[in-house]
């Protein structure tokens, strides 16, 4: 911390973007969970629930897309390290209060750097896949609320989003 403010770790003294050297960091178990949602018309949610979307199984396909995306995070986000993930899970649940689908992803590994970006990428791509598969029925869908819920492991310690309860 500098002057009470966090410093950006991916910017060097001259303001240039750089990949952080994690070679000297201690390997620890690291876990991160993120969430996001896709709001849609109640009729669209019913269509997905009934398995009647034109492109097929929306929830199953989005789950796989999220898992695949987590494994490709370093190819998508320029300064992310390639990681050997030991677990990625993507859960998609109906939320009638939205109405729509809530996506939660957890990424885990034993390593020198965190897995927050992998969890966030999994959520983002799963939400985009839901949109893609249901857009023929509803182009007014909204993707939002993508955020880190919690993380553990590493030098910076644990984090729990203030609005998230376990």
Radius of gyration of the chain (CA): 18
pLDDT for 124: 98
Q: Can you give the pLDDT at residue 7?
A: 72
Alpha carbons 146 and 60: distance in angstroms, whole number:
20
pLDDT for the residue numbered 47: 94
Residue 9: CA count within 13 A, CB half-sphere: 9
113 contact partners, CB below 8 Å, separation of at least 6: 20, 22, 25, 30, 81, 83, 154
- Mind telling me the catalytic residues? 132
In the chain, which stretches have pLDDT less than 50? 1-4
Closest-CA residue to 125 (of 76, 52, 57, 53): 76
pTM beyond 0.85: yes
Q: Is 51 left (phi over 0), alpha (psi -120 to 50) or beta?
A: left
Query: Which pLDDT score is estimated for 24?
Result: 77
- Supply the DSSP symbol for 12: -
């Amino acid at each position: 911390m500098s002057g009470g403010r966090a410093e950006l770790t991916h910017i060097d003294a001259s303001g240039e973007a750089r990949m952080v050297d994690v070679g000297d960091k201690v390997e620890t178990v690291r876990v991160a969970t993120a969430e996001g949602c896709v709001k849609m018309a109640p009729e669209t949610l019913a269509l997905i629930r009934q398995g009647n979307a034109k492109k097929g199984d929306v929830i199953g396909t989005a789950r796989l897309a999220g898992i695949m995306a987590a494994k490709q995070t370093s190819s998508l986000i320029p300064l992310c390290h390639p990681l050997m993930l030991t677990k990625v899970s993507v859960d998609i649940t109906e939320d009638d209060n939205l109405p729509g689908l809530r996506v939660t992803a957890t990424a885990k590994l034993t390593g020198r750097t965190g897995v927050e970006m992998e969890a966030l990428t999994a959520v983002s791509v799963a939400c985009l896949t839901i949109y893609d598969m249901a857009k023929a029925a509803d182009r007014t869908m909204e993707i939002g609320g993508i955020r880190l819920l919690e993380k553990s492991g590493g030098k910076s310690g644990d984090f729990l989003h203030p609005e998230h309860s376990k």
